[in-house]
Structure 1
Amino acid sequence: MFSSQKKLIKHLKKGHTGAYSFLVDLHYKELCDYASNLARDNFKSEDIVQNVIVRMWQQREKLNTNISIKNYLYKSVYNEFIDQYRKEVAVTKLEKKYIESLDTVIEVQDVTEINRLMKLVQNEIERLPPRCKETFLLSKQEGLTYVEIAEYQNVSVNTVEKQMVKALSIIRKKMKEKVMSILFLLFGTKKT
């Protein structure tokens, strides 16, 4: 059907679903095996491969007709594995900070004091500059990633990061101690 790699990629770029099905049939199992060797988890490996194949289809117009599609898929599976691994490590660190923060707050045994600190943090959030406040709440309250916030606000991810740094800096200056513990209590461990 597809006599050459270039022909296959050209059909993919044009959005022919037959080319996509052919590609999936040809490489899916071997990509899952490769991902399984990386992740050492069959369910995770299938997620990795599915993410790669779906993303490739979504971005098919950008495919270069001179590449090796097999090498491209393997490299993409590897990169997806690395991305997922980094996210898991970040979540583990965040969970550790959350537990440490809870321990710190629990040391303050006076519930009235905890409530007072939480109210102070909420007041400081309300006083943030409007764009800064919106960015902070989208991240911490709504759980959006920086990329999602950037798309929603039609700004760069760098701008979102700067707004978050600014918000946390303002809150820290006002609150001084125990602010991170209170933020964790208010917003939990939602990803940034």
Structure 2
Amino acid sequence: MRRRFKENANLIGHLKKGDGDAFSFLVNSYNHQLCVYANSLVNDKALAEDIVQNVYIKTWEKRKYLNECFSIKSFLYKSVHNEFIDQYRKNRSVTILEKKYIETLDAIVEEDYNVLEKLYLLVQNEIQNLPPKCKNIFLLSKKEGLSNVEISEHLNISTKTVEAHITKAFCLIRERVSLPTNMGAFLFLLFV
């Protein structure tokens, strides 16, 4: 089997045809080297293995587009690097979101407890004052944790109607309760 795929063009040709032996040869030939390379980028063995695994999956899924003139080795290394960049971007955006969440929580904690308690009671009171259908949908979503699809199936209405009622509820509550400027995210965090 090794001789059969020794040449780059031959290996790519068999991969394009969906040859499982060619794919096994590809994995067996490059897996260790690619994992070492990925680990040098992320310094996390498990994440490095995930990156390489994703590269193999994408390579197999897009095998028909492989170019027999290009080096498969160079292609794999470049793919690992690109996957690393994608992972980095995903993790970076999560980190930014977590940072914003923590900053919002810090701002809330710094506020006087009485202000928070009063605000919470005001919001709860305004929820009770929502129109009946709007209130029901809002509570199913935010208190019971049902998805929009689950609510639409449960109430036999469209998901667009569910979304409209939830948006309307947030707007009505926001209009009726004056939030301090640094508490704007309070309403959102209260129901997430």
- The TM-score with structure 1 as length reference comes to 0.63
Counterpart selection for 2:78 from 75, 78, 81: 75
Q: Distance in 2 between matches of 1:29 and 1:74?
A: 12
Is the counterpart of residue 4 in structure 1 residue 4 in structure 2?
Answer: no
Match of 2:191, SS state, is helix
Deviation at 1:182, TM superposition (A): 2.9
Which residue among 32, 35, 57 is the counterpart of 1:32? Answer: 35
**How far does the alpha carbon of each residue in 1:98-156 deviate from its partner, in whole angstroms, 9 at most, with x for none?**
111122233263334135448879x8xx99xxxxxxxxxxxxx97xxxxxxxxxxxxxx
- 1:113 maps to 2:116: no
Q: Does the alignment pair 1:13 with 2:16?
A: yes
Q: Deviations over 1:64-122 (max 9, x none)?
A: 2221111111011111111111222221121111111122233263334135448879x
Deviations 1:19-46 (A, max 9, x none): 1000000000000010111111111111
For residue 184 of structure 2, the aligned residue among 157, 179, 188 is 179
Q: Aligned residue for 1:158?
A: none
Question: Unmatched 5+ residue regions in structure 1?
Answer: 128-140, 143-166, 188-192
Q: Residues 186 and 28 from structure 1, CA distance in 2 versus in 1: closer, same or farther, beyond 3 angstroms? A: same
The 1-side partners of 2:53 and 2:11 are apart by 19
Aligned identity (percent) is 42
The CA RMSD measured in Å over matched residues stands at 3.1
Cα contact 1:102–1:185 (8 A) shared by 2: no
Question: Quick check: which has more Rg, 1 or 2?
Answer: 2
2:100 maps to 1:103:
no
Q: CA deviation at 1:15?
A: 1.1
Going from structure 1 to structure 2, the CA distance change for 1:6 and 1:101 (only over 3 Å counts) comes to: same
Structure 2 residue ranges without an equivalent (≥5): 135-145, 148-166
Matches of 1:12 and 1:115 in 2, distance apart? Answer: 64
Secondary structure at the aligned position of 2:67 is classed as coil
CA–CA separation in structure 2 for the residues paired with 1:75 and 1:115: 56
Give the partner amino acid of 2:61.
Q
Report the Cα distance in structure 1 between the residues aligned to 2:24 and 2:8, rounded to whole angstroms. 15
Aligned residue for 1:138? none
Contact 1:98–1:181 under 8 Å retained in 2: no
Bigger RCO (CA 8 Å, 6+ sep): 1
1: distance between equivalents of 2:38 and 2:59? 16
- Contact 1:104 / 1:181 at 8 angstroms: preserved in 2? no
Q: 1:94 aligns with which of 85, 94, 97?
A: 97
| Aligned partner letter, 1:39 | V
Q: Which residue is equivalent to 1:130?
A: none
